[in-house]
Structure 1
């Protein structure tokens, strides 16, 4: 899914970059990591 609101309640979220999984976890875990998923949610970066 490309809408973050769609995946927020998922048990497992995987963030891909150039076909590779770079982050994996649920919403709370990924937000705590403050990685790419966090940046997307915070509006720091946008999907390309």
Structure 2
């Protein structure tokens, strides 16, 4: 999710599309929050790990 957010940030910045920029920021923030929760040992979405 973080990678997709960064890709959308770059595309939105280069193309000048603010909607992609906003969606990219949201995806990056959500991805970082889920990553931190998973790294802290909390179950995310009912799973202890992704696989």
Q: Do the two structures share a fold, i.e. TM-score over 0.5?
A: no
Please give the TM-score of this superposition, normalised by the length of structure 2.
0.27
Relative to the length of structure 1, the TM-score reads: 0.28
Higher strand share: 1
- Higher RCO by CA contacts (8 Å cutoff, separation 6 or greater): 2
